[in-house]
Structure 1
Amino acid sequence: MAENPMSAAAAAVIDRCDIEPSLESAAAEITLPLLHFDITWLYFHPVQRLLFYDFPCSKPLFLETIVPQLKQSLSQTLNHFLPLAGNIVHPLNSGGRPFSRFTAGDSVSLTVAVCDKDFNHLTGNHARVSDEFYACVPHLPPPKHSSSDDHVVLPVLALQITLFPDHGVCLGFTNHHAIADASSIVRFIRAWASVNRFGGEIDDKSRPYYDRTAVEDPKGLDSIYWNLIKRSRAVESPPISFPLNRSRRTFILTKDDVQKLKNFAHQKRPEMNTTSFTVACALVWVCLVKAEAAEAATPVADDEPEFFCFAADCRGRLNAPLPAAYFGNCLAFVKAESKHGLLKGDGGFVIAAECTGEAIQKRVYGEKGILHGAENWPLEFGKLIGKRLFGVAGSPRFDLYDVDYGWGRPKKFESASIDGDTSMSLCKSRDFEGGLEIGLSRSEKILNAFSAIFIQELGKL
């Protein structure tokens, strides 16, 4: 999503600069084809993450010490993540497929800003106006068209460092989804934090793996996906329109809550294989359906389909497994489906958990492999446009609350990009071992209704 300069109140920008990988890799070049896993996300809105740190810091200390150190460590870290400093090259008229390219002189856009908003308010769990967070959200530079107009160059990463004087610091990350999924981006964030905190080089386990020839491509998916995607829509995403008329709120499930949800589902369906992910998603899905039904001006028919979609990491599940450090996208499309009337009924939670679990079992653990039917995924997803659809951004597998730049653990993680779709964010809880943290962005009315139903549903266990 492009920046709208007449949008939400912005922070005071002190500096905008471009950070290149440090000198030892200035001559390096790397070109990577976008595979079917990447092409899926070519026209998806940018992914925006915010990490808030409770780190009382004066403006002089911030500008004279913190920012220079972050710039230096970023430059060092980019040596190992060159595609993030590069661009996606998107052919417009030729038959070629998009690719990622880094060449000497490419860089990452970095904004340094100071914000006078209430740090403690923004980092709470209570309802907050979504617009307020965009003072900290970096914006990808605009695409650049070639002189011959036969291709467009798309920047893939933008960063922002925002000071809340004497209260804290926020690091903002915005990336083009086609360059990498959460596994790769979180690997970069953790590597940068490690270099900033300890200095030196990143460890071998943090180094990304770039071999695209190792990726399984049954049935020529790269060509199939490109032929479908290139006809779908324009290259540039529409700008965000403010006000968003949304609020965001954080909901916590403790380890005990999660276990009670599992026990309840198991009592109703002893044969059901429940996980923390399935029961948490089922609870939120059902509460949201009920909240929307309660606030709807026009009732939704009971037989109206309800869809719950999310992505599953394929790295270790391909016919020739990829290393966990594989850089790029490597995700499978998972879709659960039920009916509106079933989900808003008394047994809605168990039904949601069951169909979510069955969808995972079929896609992720099916006998024919995780990519079975992958040639149809773009068309399947396309059919969901305009339908009642809910999804998940993030995963409890990626613990961003463990990312320490030298200022301690983050006080709060926010997935700003859920404002642009119908997803919830999901991650490990910061304060409750074994717990989960759920972020939701909706209208104030829906959010209030959801909150009341969420509490009621947990009270039934």
Structure 2
Amino acid sequence: MATLLETCRIAPPPAGDAADQLIVPLTYLDMRWIHFIPIHCLLFYEYPCSKVYFTETLLPKLKQSLSVTLKHYLPLAGNLVYPLNTDEKPVFRYVPGDSVSLTIAESSNDFDEHVGNHARDADQFYDFVPELPPVKLDESNYQTIPVIALRVTLFPNLGICVGYSYHHSIGDWSSIVGFIRAWASVNKFGGDDEFLTKQAESSRPIFDRSVINDPIGIDSIYWKVIREIPLKLSSFPLPTNRVRATFILHRADIKNLKDLVLDKKPDLVQVSSFVVTVSYVWTCFVKSGEELVDDDVLELFIFSVDVRARIDPPVPANYFGNCLGYGVGKIEHKRLVGDEGFVIAAEDIALDIKNRANNKDQVLKGVENWMSVDTKKSIGIRALGVSGSPKFDLASADFGWGKAKKLEILSIDGENYSMSLCKSTDSDGGLEVGLSLPRERMEAFAAIFAHGLKY
């Protein structure tokens, strides 16, 4: 149970030479996420401190450091401005006085329960997630939509949870992880000097949308589709009727999985830790289902691809926004659940990465049509997605309390099944997989997952 202690707004520090407002257009890579559900994440830190120390020492620092960090991330303090009944396109807009919602709470829950790996009731985690403030309709017939909200929860003498919710259109995982890590750095070092050093120059966010090449006006093509869909933000998916559990693939497990694939497919390239991990989880997930499925039904695995370095011209690594393509594995059910299912999955995903993700001529091929695909074709599709990425290590964000004990991505509680993926906080070189499933299916998955690792 969480008790609300304070709700406040944190604004960037005033700047005398600041412009009246900052307008950041949406590229087509941002627009495609406008109707997507908000992303909810939690970072749990094992940091025993009293309530008095938290409120009198830690909390003022967190507020101050957040304000300083927002100076470098002004669009996060602003809103998505969504026009109604007009041909104008949406923009992100910051005006002086805009701010971010920060909620402070205290919890009497069992901290160890939340940072465990075993199956736990998924609903209980929503005590620590901030809700995005409501959409507002202004006098000019525009909707203004806050893009991020934050919540910090104290477990007295045990730890701290930092939770955040954000609108996917403002940025991808790389962008938001960069913001959280910047806030942590400013808080730890008492200012932004470390963040602004030459060594950290590549981490300073770039909001210049001109780096996204759009010669044929894909943003206009997307907007014609998007504007016909009523804008409404989803609430928490409660009750979820699910449990959450974490599964760790240690360095040795990953090596064994790679060896297994390469023994069967010695000429296969792109047999990465990502490939073998998601392939193994995908096959275990499909096998854990109890429903009857026709042999020839396609099973899909869908994953995002950061295309910053994969397109021509390349986009700077510190570009803040969405810069995502996608990859997909497609395999008939009977092949995926068969004895060679894991190797077949790894080969399929590895080839898709080679031929699509790592091919600058293919990675965004047909992107102008992505928003116009007949949505009826997606009804009934059997798919598993993935959220997060071990490439961008969010759990290493250190507010001065050390690395996070646990990262939970709550967005995988949504209607469609998805897994979370990050570096393991407990196993050097390992990867951590999070799943949210009905309890019986979770038990079946856990048994299949453990059995398959007994080489």
Query: Do both share a fold (TM > 0.5)?
Result: yes
| CA distance in structure 2 between the partners assigned to 1:132 and 1:22 by the alignment | 35
| CA distance in structure 2 between the partners assigned to 1:300 and 1:83 by the alignment | 46
Alignment of 1:51-62 (within 5 A): 51-62=43-54
Alignment of 1:25-104 (within 5 A): 27-28=18-19, 29-104=21-96
Task: Confirm or deny: 8 A CA contact 1:26 1:105 kept in the other structure.
Answer: no
Answering whether residue 182 of structure 2 is matched by residue 191 of structure 1, we say: yes
1:94 partner amino acid: T
Question: Which moves more between the two structures, 372-381 or 124-133?
Answer: 372-381
> Out of 231, 234, 254, which is 1:235 matched to?
231
Q: 1:315 to 1:25 in 2, by over 3 A?
A: farther
Answering whether residue 297 of structure 2 is matched by residue 304 of structure 1, we say: yes
| Cα drift, residue 25 of structure 1 | 6.8
| Cα drift, residue 385 of structure 1 | 4.0
| CA distance in structure 1 between the partners assigned to 2:355 and 2:378 by the alignment | 19
Task: Confirm or deny: 8 A CA contact 1:209 1:327 kept in the other structure.
Answer: yes
Identify unmatched segments of 5+ residues in structure 2: none
| CA distance in structure 1 between the partners assigned to 2:344 and 2:371 by the alignment | 26
Alignment of 1:433-444 (within 5 A): 433-444=428-439
Q: 1:269 to 1:11 in 2, by over 3 A?
A: same
Indicate the RMSD between aligned Cα atoms, in angstroms.
Answer: 1.5
| Counterpart for residue 444 of structure 2 | 449
Secondary structure in 2 matching 1:77? helix
Task: Confirm or deny: 8 A CA contact 1:26 1:104 kept in the other structure.
Answer: no
Answering whether residue 155 of structure 2 is matched by residue 158 of structure 1, we say: no
| Cα drift, residue 403 of structure 1 | 1.1
| Counterpart for residue 410 of structure 1 | 404
> Out of 252, 257, 263, which is 1:261 matched to?
257
1:255 partner amino acid: R
Q: 1:68 to 1:278 in 2, by over 3 A?
A: same
| Cα drift, residue 96 of structure 1 | 1.3
| Counterpart for residue 355 of structure 2 | 362
Task: Confirm or deny: 8 A CA contact 2:326 2:357 kept in the other structure.
Answer: no
| Cα drift, residue 342 of structure 1 | 1.1
> Out of 105, 109, 116, which is 1:113 matched to?
105
Query: What are the superposed Cα offsets for residues 196-232 of structure 1, whole Å, 9 maximum, x if unpaired?
Result: 000221223321011111211243221122222222x
Query: What are the superposed Cα offsets for residues 11-67 of structure 1, whole Å, 9 maximum, x if unpaired?
Result: 111100110001237944211111111011101011111110101111111111111
1:211 partner amino acid: D
| CA distance in structure 2 between the partners assigned to 1:97 and 1:333 by the alignment | 24
Q: 1:200 to 1:306 in 2, by over 3 A?
A: same
Alignment of 1:269-348 (within 5 A): 269-273=265-269, 274-292=271-289, 295-296=290-291, 299-348=292-341
Answering whether residue 418 of structure 2 is matched by residue 428 of structure 1, we say: no
2:177 partner amino acid: V
| Cα drift, residue 401 of structure 1 | 2.4
Question: Which moves more between the two structures, 75-84 or 218-227?
Answer: 218-227
Task: Confirm or deny: 8 A CA contact 1:418 1:425 kept in the other structure.
Answer: yes
| Counterpart for residue 168 of structure 2 | 177
| CA distance in structure 1 between the partners assigned to 2:179 and 2:161 by the alignment | 17
| CA distance in structure 2 between the partners assigned to 1:199 and 1:67 by the alignment | 13
Secondary structure in 2 matching 1:24? coil
Secondary structure in 2 matching 1:187? helix
| CA distance in structure 1 between the partners assigned to 2:407 and 2:172 by the alignment | 17
1:207 partner amino acid: R
Percent identity over the alignment? Answer: 49
| Counterpart for residue 391 of structure 2 | 397
| CA distance in structure 1 between the partners assigned to 2:17 and 2:160 by the alignment | 30
| Counterpart for residue 216 of structure 2 | 219
Secondary structure in 2 matching 1:169? strand
| CA distance in structure 1 between the partners assigned to 2:385 and 2:310 by the alignment | 22
> How many residues are matched?
445
| CA distance in structure 1 between the partners assigned to 2:17 and 2:101 by the alignment | 17
| Cα drift, residue 434 of structure 1 | 1.4
The ranges of structure 1 where at least 4 consecutive aligned residues each deviate by more than 3 angstroms after the TM superposition are: 25-28, 379-383
Answering whether residue 244 of structure 2 is matched by residue 251 of structure 1, we say: no
| Cα drift, residue 378 of structure 1 | 2.8
Question: Which moves more between the two structures, 194-203 or 77-86?
Answer: 194-203
| CA distance in structure 2 between the partners assigned to 1:154 and 1:378 by the alignment | 22
